[in-house]
């Protein structure tokens, strides 16, 4: 499948794009979040690089989603700093960082159920194209976004159902629509929270392919449980346990780490 993720549509995005593969796009240092007396995550250092798929894995309750919420500013960190393309975003709001190009997905599928597939993608295109606040214009003024929206819809293989309501789509296709919507913003980093959760094998293959091609021109950070997917897709893996980083590296390093094997995979020895 050939996927053209196109050129930047957001005029407000920072210019400092590290185009060389391996340049750090998003990083955090010493990230910590307390909920009352409970330390949900502590001392998290993370570097997400351009052109790479970075996975965050760990057992349930390890703090993966918390890290996600911290990075995207849906939660405020108790301690630590977050840097995005050379900007300190530690104290910004989630919509501000989204406008800079840090766009997330959610664990449960995040579509606009009573809008059509086309409208879903167009909602993402409206803001960067300055078509979001006009309450005096007809909705047909949005038709000029259809071309770009249809490109994205074609790229993820939803062409035949572009006029269906998102609510009527299968689970796998909702996730795919979500990715198309995210790509519409031409984000610098995609944060995907369990993109394969609850998907059939066939859909997993399709979505993996989409993510792989996307990662060539973006940085991708994903939370994932399916280790086969992680092994196939991810260049770098960070393992969390009880809110702290247990190990980091590529799949081989992780898979041979004794602590990871006992903590996460539940294998003591082979």
Partner 1 sequence: MADTNLALPVERSTVAPYKILFLVMAIVLLVAAPWFFYPIFLMKVLCFALFAAAFNLLLGYTGLLSFGHAAFFGGAAYFTSHAVTVWSWRPELGLLFGVAGAAALGLVIGFLAIRRKGIYFGMITLALAQMFYFFCLQAPFTHGEDGIQGVPRGNLFGVIPLGDTLNMYFFVLAVFLIGLFAIYRIVHSPFGMIVKAIRENENRAISLGYSVGAYKLAIFVMSAALTGLAGGAKALVFQFATLNDVTWQMSGEVILMALLGGIGTLIGPLVGATLVVTLQTYLATSVFPVTIVMGLTFMVCVLTFRRGVVGEFYHSRTGRGLTQKDGD
Residues that bind partner 1 (CB under 8 A): 7-11, 72, 74, 93-95, 98-99, 103-106, 110-116, 119, 122-148, 150, 163, 181, 185
CB 33 within 8 A of CB 40: yes
Tell me 249's DSSP state: E
CB of 211 to partner 1, least distance (A): 18
Angle at 43 between CA 41 and CA 74, to 5 degrees: 45
Q: Which is nearer to partner 1, 52 or 119 (CB)?
A: 119
Task: Select 9 or 265, whichever has its Cβ closest to partner 1.
Answer: 9
Q: Which is nearer to partner 1, 161 or 263 (CB)?
A: 161
In whole angstroms, how far apart are CA 207 and each of 26, 125, 136, 177, 194?
A: 23, 22, 39, 10, 12
Q: How many CB atoms lie within 10 A of CB 82?
A: 24
Beta carbon of residue 107, minimum distance to partner 1 (angstroms, whole number): 11
Hunting for tokens 């993510």 — which residue is that?
A: 211
The residue (of 34 and 143) whose beta carbon lies closer to partner 1 is: 143
**Nearest distance in Å: CB 79, partner 1:** 24
| Shortest Cβ 111–partner 1 spacing (Å) | 7
CB contact at 8 A, 68 and 223: yes
CA distances from 261 to 209, 224, 225, 239, 265 (A): 28, 16, 14, 11, 5
Cβ distance to partner 1 smaller for residue 54 or 73: 73
Distance CA 163, CA 182 (A): 19
In the complex, least distance from residue 99 CB atom to partner 1, rounded to whole angstroms? 4
CB atoms < 10 A from the CB of 85, how many?
22
Report the nearest approach of partner 1 to the CB of residue 231 (Å). 28
Q: Are 45 and 132 a contacting pair, CB within 8 Å?
A: no
Q: Of 94 and 249, which has the nearer Cβ to partner 1?
A: 94
Q: Nearest approach, Cβ of 215 to partner 1 (angstroms)?
A: 19
How does DSSP classify residue 185? T
Sign of the C-alpha dihedral computed for residues 163, 146, 219 and 242 taken in this order: negative
Closer to partner 1 by Cβ: residue 222 or 247 = 222
């Amino acid at each position: 499948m050939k996927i053209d993720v196109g050129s930047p549509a957001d005029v407000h995005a920072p210019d400092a794009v590290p185009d060389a593969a391996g340049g750090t796009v998003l990083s955090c240092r010493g990230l910590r979040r307390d909920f009352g007396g409970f330390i949900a995550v502590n001392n998290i250092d993370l570097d997400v690089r351009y052109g790479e798929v970075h996975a965050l894995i760990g057992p349930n309750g390890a703090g993966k989603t918390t890290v996600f919420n911290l990075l995207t500013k849906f939660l405020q960190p108790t301690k630590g700093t977050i840097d995005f393309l050379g900007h300190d975003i530690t104290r910004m709001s989630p919509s501000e960082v989204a406008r800079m190009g840090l766009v997330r997905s959610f664990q449960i599928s995040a579509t606009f159920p009573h809008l059509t597939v086309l409208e879903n993608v167009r909602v993402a295109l409206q803001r960067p194209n300055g078509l979001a606040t006009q309450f005096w214009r007809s909705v047909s003024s949005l038709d000029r976004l259809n071309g770009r929206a249809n490109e994205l819809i074609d790229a993820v293989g939803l062409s035949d159902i572009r006029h269906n309501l998102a609510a009527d789509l299968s689970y796998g296709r909702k996730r795919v629509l979500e990715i198309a919507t995210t790509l519409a913003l031409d984000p610098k980093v995609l944060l995907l929270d369990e993109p394969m959760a609850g998907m059939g094998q066939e859909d997993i293959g399709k979505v993996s392919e989409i993510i792989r091609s996307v990662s060539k021109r973006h940085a991708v950070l994903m939370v994932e449980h399916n280790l086969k997917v992680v092994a196939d897709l991810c260049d770098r893996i960070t393992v969390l346990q009880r809110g702290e980083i247990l190990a980091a590296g590529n799949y081989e390093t992780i898979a041979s780490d004794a602590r990871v094997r006992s903590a996460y995979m539940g294998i003591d020895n082979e």
